[in-house]
Amino acid sequence: MEYEAVMRGNQSKFLMQPHWVFDELAKCFDSALVGWQGWYLEAKEHHADPHQKRELRIQAWRDIHEEGRESDRLWLQFNVTKYKLKRDEFAKPDPKKAGCYKPARTIGDLGVGASLQGAFITGRLKDGLAGCAMANATTEFQFLKKPTQQGLEDVFNKMIFLKGDNYFVYFSDDSCLAKRGSDGEVHHYNVDISKCDASHTPALFEKLKKSVPAFAADDIQILIEQCTSDLKLQAPDDKRFNTKNKIVLRPREPSLYSGSTLTTLINNIANLCVGICLTECKETDPDLLAEAVLRCGYHVTIEECHQPQSIQFLKNSPTLDTNGVWRPLLNLGVLLRASGQCKGDLPGKGDWVERARRFQRSVLNGMYPTAHFPLIDSMKATSGAQTAIETVALRAILTDLSYKVCEQTEHYYFSSAEVYRRYSLLEHEIEELDEVLGSLGTGEYCRLPGTIRILHADYGLEAKLFAEL
């Protein structure tokens, strides 16, 4: 408790101090909210805009007015935040306990109505932050709103070919740092905030509120109040349980739960605090950099990247294509986690093998739409060519979701050696991976030295098996 009190005090003091980055943040938010009409009029005008939850938003807006709740302040379901259980995250091992993983956690569900009060202002503020150049003579801070091909390519080139002394890129709680040492050498780091959401104090919420123009402060205050609502934990709907059993928790201060519309914005400000500490520190040793961050009330783990391919941002890493250009490439660990499995029933009807192959094709095409290298091309070939039916369905999706889907026409080609350089695979391990995993059929599985190394590098999984090989 004493350590927690010190960290809370550090965060409060840090956020009260003036800094050019906070000044730039306020300017970004000011420009982003030009023409802002207030949350009610914005929700009235935009609740039916194209969105994956468009129909739910339309229904929520209708329900609010039919129930006469338009004057309510929070638009919460039943005036509480419901919690849903998320199972153990087996791809996130606990570094302090061998063989253990992060425990089950809960996700807050305020209901679609409450999200209407936050979706449009937070969207405007994120757009403003993404379009704002926060830089001085030596340091640049960049928020990347979406992991697009061009956006990631720009980020990685700025990191590898650093022009100033510091470059800090972030999205919510994910961030990377490029820093020039006193000897002129450029160092790269992956930065992770430990228990990010749980480390925010009321001072951080207040900083967000004070960073927006005065006419929008109450709109943000409503979202902060949503983060102080009662939390209802209901027993599962199962015959073994009495479903009347419930626990209601009442936060004493704002708490950033999973599912809040404020998550990205609040985490962005936390990451700006971390970035300020890192860029102002003159050291390049990861431990000393992590120690410097304590003054803003966060504990971080910092991994120094001794090759550009080890940089990881939004699950992508820079990789040289066959033309010698650095391109972002989705980490192979993500592919391994998603391949060969489907949560719930396989979509479609008919032969399950063909349905499984069709599902796998969608996974491969979704993750690597324009990237070509031996493994991914072999896996795509093994899963079969796209059918005419799928082509028609794809065209319909591209039409209906044109606001969300970006058709890329430029294709990129990579050699196996460059793709696997991040994982330090030996030549025979590369050949084995390309041959075995690339030709794996439905119902088959493999465990190769290469897959173990990939999962270890990307997720910290299966490290204990190295001794068995």
d(C-alpha 376, C-alpha 353), whole Å: 20
- Residue 151 within any structural domain of the chain: yes
Q: Which of 252, 283, 309 is a domain's end point?
A: 309
Amino acid 306: pLDDT = 96
Per-residue pLDDT of 273-314, as tens digits, reads 999 999 999 999 999 999 999 999 999 999 999 999 999 999
Could you give the number of structural domains in the chain?
2
- Residue 173 within any structural domain of the chain: yes
Closest C-alpha among 426, 428, 423 to residue 459: 423
pTM over 0.75: yes
The answer on 390 and 279 residing in a single domain is no
- Residue 178 within any structural domain of the chain: yes
- Residue 326 within any structural domain of the chain: yes
The answer on 246 and 366 residing in a single domain is no
Contact criterion met (CB below 8 Å) for 12 and 203: yes
- Residue 119 within any structural domain of the chain: yes
- Residue 315 within any structural domain of the chain: no
- Residue 264 within any structural domain of the chain: yes
The answer on 292 and 374 residing in a single domain is no
d(C-alpha 286, C-alpha 279), whole Å: 13
**Which segments of the chain have a pLDDT < 70?**
1, 78, 85-105, 235-244, 385-409, 462-469
The answer on 251 and 206 residing in a single domain is yes
Amino acid 386: pLDDT = 53
The answer on 360 and 248 residing in a single domain is no
The answer on 330 and 304 residing in a single domain is no
Q: Which of 255, 275, 309 is a domain's end point?
A: 309
36 three-class SS: coil
Contact criterion met (CB below 8 Å) for 162 and 301: no
The answer on 207 and 153 residing in a single domain is yes
Amino acid 2: pLDDT = 86
**Amino acid residing at 319:** T
Task: Look up the domain containing 344 and give its range.
Answer: 320-468
The answer on 231 and 364 residing in a single domain is no
Residue at token pair 């070939």: 381
Amino acid 237: pLDDT = 64
Amino acid 465: pLDDT = 44
Q: Which of 276, 309, 342 is a domain's end point?
A: 309
The answer on 275 and 140 residing in a single domain is yes
The answer on 145 and 26 residing in a single domain is yes
Amino acid 260: pLDDT = 85
Please state at what angle helix 374-383 crosses helix 352-367, rounded to 10 degrees.
Answer: 150
Amino acid 96: pLDDT = 58
SS3 content of the chain, % helix, strand, coil (to 5): 50, 15, 35
The answer on 186 and 282 residing in a single domain is yes
- Residue 314 within any structural domain of the chain: no
The answer on 149 and 42 residing in a single domain is yes
Closest C-alpha among 117, 134, 188, 130 to residue 157: 188
Q: Which two tokens stand for residue 390?
A: 């799928």
d(C-alpha 456, C-alpha 424), whole Å: 11
